[in-house]
Structure 1
Amino acid sequence: MPRSVRTSERPERPALPFAPKGISRLEAARYVGVSVTTFDEMVRERLMPRPKQVGTRVLWDRAQVDLFFEALPEREANQESDEDILARLG
């Protein structure tokens, strides 16, 4: 009889048929397209919303993240593109 292997990782949750209202810090950072460190900085600078406490969980309201993201400033037209910056460095 095979022994069961214990891991410290949580088992994967099945996909939901809808987008969750509350998202974790990692999910919020990925949703916005930045690293967790950058997301934390954006929260500190009030560029992203503060989280909500749901029991023992800390969650961000996905709709609030959307609103804050939409309020971010547009990129200036005269700024260098990523490709220009990489070409200059390379």
Structure 2
Amino acid sequence: MSQERIVPRGLTKADAAAYVGVSVKKFTLLVQAGILPKPSVGDVWDRKAIDAAFDKLSGMSSDNDNDADRALAEWEAQQQGRAA
């Protein structure tokens, strides 16, 4: 059997904060401010949603910017629908 490590798409708050490179406290503040996305399922953050938000924050541009922006907007709309 292969010993390959599975890289999870879902991250705990501590893992998501480490992934972005900030403390858990700072990560919480960024989520509360709407700068980074809220958890997608329970207390699990979607790595791709974090990537899209962080790319937007950093001003990175690529051919996929419109796709990433659209995906992030759709995800945010779904999250708002769940919260309502």
TM over 0.5: yes
Q: Which residue in 2 is equivalent to 1:47?
A: 35
Compare CA radii of gyration and give the structure with the larger one: 1
Pick which of 65-74 and 37-46 moved more. Answer: 65-74
Per-residue CA deviations over 1:33-68 (Å, capped at 9, x if unaligned) read 0000100000011111010225xxx10000111111
Structure having the larger proportion of residues in helix: 2
2:68 corresponds to 1:68: no
* 1:18 to partner: Cα distance: 2.5
Q: CA RMSD in A?
A: 1.9
* 1:19 to partner: Cα distance: 1.2
**Structure 1 CA distance for aligned equivalents of residues 19 and 27 of structure 2:** 10
Structure 2: gaps of 5 or more residues? 60-84
Q: Which residue in 1 is equivalent to 2:26?
A: 38
Q: Which runs of 4+ in 1 moved over 4 A?
A: none
SS at match of 2:41: strand
Structure 1: gaps of 5 or more residues? 1-14, 75-90
Q: Which residue in 1 is equivalent to 2:81?
A: none
Q: Which residue in 1 is equivalent to 2:70?
A: none
Q: TM-score under structure 2 normalisation?
A: 0.61
